Amino acid sequence: MTVDQQPSSASAGAADEAESGAPRADSSMRTAPQLSRRRKLERTLFIAPAFLFQLSWGWYPLLIAFVISFTNARFRGPVEFTGLESYTRLWTDPLVAQAFQVTAIYAALSIALTFFIPIFVAILLMEMPRKHIRWMMLLWFLPLSGIASTLLFRYLFNTEYGLFQWIATEILNLPVQPFLSSADQVLFWLVFPGILFFGPGLIYMATLQGIPASYYEAAEVEGAGFWRKIWTISLPRLRPIISMLLLFSVIGSMQAFEYPLIMTGGGPGGASRTVVMYLYELLQNVRYADATALGVYLFLVTMALILIQRRVVREDPDQ
């Protein structure tokens, strides 16, 4: 009886395969490409909103601005093609040269004071006892908007009733300081509102907390001191983050606008007029073609700085 049942079960399996048209293994193999296509479709649908937003609010305005820079665009009247007239006019404009010089100095001061200082402050905070780190982070990384910090520092720098003027004259016995009214000092003081923005410091702290404690313990066993551990462990682990944040810092500094606009309005005598501020003035004067041409100049300079930064700063901590 058992011998007779084996052929019947085999024939039944063959009959099932014949009815279904393919073995079960083939059915599972058919579903794999379908799942792959479904996942690709899901990824596309998730990326599509961000792509469309960047296309409509990023690349499309940039393209239109590039086209307008070759015309005599105005508020009213016909628009005519003028070629490189706007570019040549700006190339010989002394205010453009001054604006780029101001922007370069401001960017250098801003990166020096608001980018590198948080690195070492974050490293020093990590050396504190764990129970004190949270309170120090709360005091140092107090969230404050850029506009609020700018208004605060404009009050502090006031030459008549500002706190810094009182400290300089009453405590330090210095003469009355011009602060923002001095063409030689204004760019240095303009950088200080950015010190209250501690976004990079938080990122550095999070990165340092992710470094295994065994690295530092092994370095101590080898006899490494505090600065040796920073140079050989902390900074190499921070290198990818430093590279990324330095890129953002360069872009943000080249686009400086709200700090000088609120605190000085570009004065005194244009000493704090950045490129974006001058672009804003051109738009106010209905010089649309010149404004877009200046924007193209700024875009090219920023891209050149980004390429230089990417070639100089390596992101791999093992290199």
pLDDT at 12: 46
Q: What is the rounded distance in angstroms from the CA atom of residue 51 to the CA atom of residue 35?
A: 24
Same domain, 134 and 253: yes
Quote the mean pLDDT of the chain: 81
- Domain region containing 55: 23-68
Report if residue 1 sits inside a domain: no
Identify whether residues 171 and 262 lie together within a single domain. Answer: yes
Question: What token pair was written down for 73?
Answer: 């665009």
pTM as predicted: 0.76
180/31 same-domain check: no
CATH number, domain at 135?
A: 1.10.3720.10
Assess if residue 15 is contained within a domain. Answer: no
pLDDT in tens, 49-75: 988 998 888 888 888 888 988 988 877
Number of domains in the chain: 2
318 within a domain of the structure (yes/no): no
Residue tagged 């605060």 (tokens): 152
Beta carbons within 8 Å of 136's beta carbon, 6+ residues apart: 125, 128
Is residue 4 assigned to a domain? no
Q: What is the pLDDT at residue 315?
A: 52
Q: Quick one: pLDDT at residue 102?
A: 94
**Could you say which residues of the chain have pLDDT below 50?**
1-23, 25-28, 317
The verdict on residue 77 lying in a domain is no
* Same domain, yes or no: 308 and 210: yes
Alpha helices in 222-271 (DSSP H): 226-229, 235-254, 258-263
> Given 40, 68, 96, which residue is the final one in a domain?
68
- The pLDDT score that the predictor gives to residue 126 is 77
